[in-house]
Amino acid sequence: MLLLLLVLPVLVGALESTSLLLDLAQLAARNENGTLESTQCVEQLRDLHSAWQANQSWALKALDASGSGFNNFMLANSQWLGNRLTCRALNEPLLRYLTRNHQQLLRQPAPFEHAYSVAYLRANSSWQLTTSMKPRQLLHVGLCVPQSCDPQQLEQLLGQSLAAARAEGSWEQRMGLQLELVYAKRPELSAGFLARPAVRSLLLLLAVSLLLACLASSGCLPASRILGCFDVAANWRRLWQLGGQEIAVISGLRVCSAFALIALHTVWYQFFAVNHSADMSDKLVKACSQIPLALMMEVFFVISGFLTVSNFLGNVPLQRSIASDTLPGVARRFVRQVAQRYFRLAPLQCIVILLTVVSFKYNREASVFHFVESVDEQCEQHWWRNLLLVQNLYPVSEMCCNWTWSLGCDMQFYIGAMLLLYTHTRHPQLIRRLVRVLLCGNIVYTVLLFVFLNVPNTVEDGYSIGDWVYTNPLVRISSYLIGGIYGYAHAYSLEAPFETLFATKTAKCELAGFTLWLFAQMRNMELVSPVVVGSIVVVLRSLLSAATAHLIFCSFRIEGSYRVTRWVVRFLESSWFQRLSRITYAIYLLNPTTILHVYYSLSEAMPSDFSILVSLSFSSLAIPLTLFFELPFNSLTNLFLASKYHKNKSN
């Protein structure tokens, strides 16, 4: 019996739930020999320990508001944040108008001020689930500590506490936890936040835009074509009116693809930002492989290729002018068209980059989460790449706002397409043959690239070569070419290219059989060769691109199409799709910034299923972004380029 009484305290200490705050309080309480510098922080931690032993309510609230336990550590849970509101209850009464009960819980303050802080630890344990897709995640532990314990002093005390030996048989020892403090912070805005250059630039941009909008709408100044670009009422009507010259089915394709990418971004950026758990990893695998949402980006490239080619070839007077013009004149036309495309893409991207930098600066100070990717720092270093729309030519790890890689691809494809189309005005046969060679060569190049890189069968290993197989423009050009081929067929009223290539039912059945055979090879992913993986990627991209282009093509010949095709086209031509399409570009650029801001602003990680609904709500933010920035800058660009063109023409 006596032996049991002697051993019982040791067992209780070993089994007690891990609490960094309690460790700090015990460290301060044991400071009888003066090893710690006697500061107000140490004295108040000692008082906290005494109050905890006496079961005083304020001390229990401080411990309850702090993270503890390290539960679910093995499968990559890294957040034990406690509760910031409970920590506030130590400083001020809460819920006065809700209830008069629970005096100790809601009314009794601590004898000194407390502040919520977060400690970031490195586990260094082989039992922690990690991936090569990002650095080993840090453990986030919330601490409700005395206000006098600033982050620097807290780091010093935590370092000494973590260096102390753990009890034999404790949970940390069994899990091989070698906890190492990385840093600590108090998540709150600093006094100099508004003085940051990015914040001031954003406020200045908003002020100038609102001033121009007010001047254009008030009518105080004489009528001006430049001010007219910022007329809010005119832009509002332009935003929601149905355009007679637009291809309605394209609006539906854009909207559906944009929201499919939002679903992917919701999972992707939650995984990389705040939630590293096995459950989130499983959702990421499904989004990337079982439900290949990333392929929806091909739809935008197909649309861009179709419109570029069909609009150019449909303008016969323009082709005649180019064919008969001198080389300097052709060069001026070419630069003007490229500039028009550039100013269609670049201004809104620059504004979104500025918003993203401000969002990350804010959350770097106010969020409880550690930043895995420092987007704000990358944008400060590499902003010029986005300005030139060449960001996709650099590694993803160095990209500023890495979701904008597709804008670089689109701009580069457009320049290449215009070079081919300008040459087509004088050498049509050569360009037609060259396009066929480019398409076939790109298919072979993609498969050989997968073989050469020995593309693995896991998302983790595939991420490491994403610069080559995902953002690389050379593997994306096939979708643009397919869209351009369908645009050519539409401009010259030819038969659909798919029907020309697979004219008989036998040919279609052979294509379906080959596709099914390829997918059958993936029953055992571990044994699939890179050739099969590359072939499947090529087939999926080609089929999705051809299906998208075929829907656009058939929308002009709806009566002669299959019943299913007619139903899909009419669904995509719905008026609400056409209205939403006006803000699709802003939605696409803005959604990762909004998703990341929502996640970083939360005190706890949001469940991914619920976060999809929250991420959809930000579409309302795309309306003012389109209304006050995209439409005015587009009108201003068109006005400037048109005036320069007419001036040069008159000279």
DSSP E strand boundaries for 175-300: 180-185
Q: What is the pLDDT of residue 230?
A: 83
pLDDT tens digits for 437-455?
999 999 999 999 988 988 7
Phi, psi of 85 (to 5 degrees): -65, -40
Distance, in Å, from the CA atom of 372 to the CA atom of 114, rounded to the nearest integer, reads: 29
Cα 623 to Cα 59, 76, 210, 487: the distances in Å are 49, 38, 15, 30
Q: How many CA atoms lie within 13 A of 139 on its CB side?
A: 26
Q: What is the pLDDT of residue 618?
A: 52
SS3 for 370?
Answer: coil
- Is residue 351 over pLDDT 50? yes
Distance, in Å, from the CA atom of 400 to the CA atom of 377, rounded to the nearest integer, reads: 8
Q: What is the pLDDT of residue 243?
A: 67
Sheet holding 180-185, edge to edge: 79-80, 139-146, 114-122, 180-185
> Closest Cα to residue 546, out of 607, 626, 483?
483
- Is residue 651 over pLDDT 70? no
Q: What is the pLDDT of residue 234?
A: 83
Amino acid at 529: S
Weakest-pLDDT range from 71-75, 338-342, 534-538, 557-561: 71-75
pLDDT tens digits for 150-189?
999 999 999 888 887 565 556 666 776 788 899 999 988 8
Residues 6+ apart with CB under 8 A from 464: 132, 133
pLDDT tens digits for 203-252?
999 898 888 888 887 766 666 777 888 888 888 888 888 766 778 899 99
Q: How confident is the model at residue 432 (pLDDT cuts 50, 70, 90)?
A: very high
Q: What is the pLDDT of residue 221?
A: 63
Identify the DSSP state of 472: -
| 484, 477 Cβ separation under 8 angstroms | no
Q: What is the pLDDT of residue 290?
A: 65
| 361, 427 Cβ separation under 8 angstroms | no
- Is residue 78 over pLDDT 60? yes
Distance, in Å, from the CA atom of 296 to the CA atom of 285, rounded to the nearest integer, reads: 16
Q: What is the pLDDT of residue 164?
A: 74
Q: What is the pLDDT of residue 609?
A: 45
- The mean pLDDT value of the chain amounts to 83
Q: Has this prediction a pTM greater than 0.85?
A: yes
What would the mean pLDDT of 83-103 be, rounded to a whole number? Answer: 77
Please give the full DSSP string across 147-202, using - where no structure is assigned: TT--HHHHHHHHHHHHHSPPPTT-HHHHTT---EEEEEE--S--TTGGGSHHHHHH
Distance, in Å, from the CA atom of 26 to the CA atom of 160, rounded to the nearest integer, reads: 12
| 375, 401 Cβ separation under 8 angstroms | yes
End-to-end CA distance of the chain: 109
Tell me how far the alpha carbon of residue 532 is from its chain's centroid. 30
- Is residue 491 over pLDDT 90? yes
> Closest Cα to residue 113, out of 150, 165, 153?
150
Distance, in Å, from the CA atom of 371 to the CA atom of 356, rounded to the nearest integer, reads: 14
Q: Can you read off the two tokens belonging to residue 373?
A: 């990717």
Location of structure tokens 């400071």: 31
Q: What is the pLDDT of residue 644?
A: 57
> Closest Cα to residue 388, out of 400, 396, 377?
400
Weakest-pLDDT range from 48-52, 68-72, 610-614: 610-614
Element (H, E) at 119: strand 114-122
Higher pLDDT, 91 or 274: 91
Q: Length of the chain, please?
A: 651
Q: For 160-169, give one letter per residue: b (16+ CB within 10 A) or e.
A: ebbeeebeee
Phi, psi of 227 (to 5 degrees): -65, -30
pLDDT tens digits for 462-486?
777 888 888 999 999 999 999 999 9
Distance, in Å, from the CA atom of 544 to the CA atom of 501, rounded to the nearest integer, reads: 16
Q: What does the domain layout of the chain look like in residue ranges?
A: 13-188, 198-650
Cβ burial of 230 (10 Å; 0-12, 13-18, 19+) is: buried
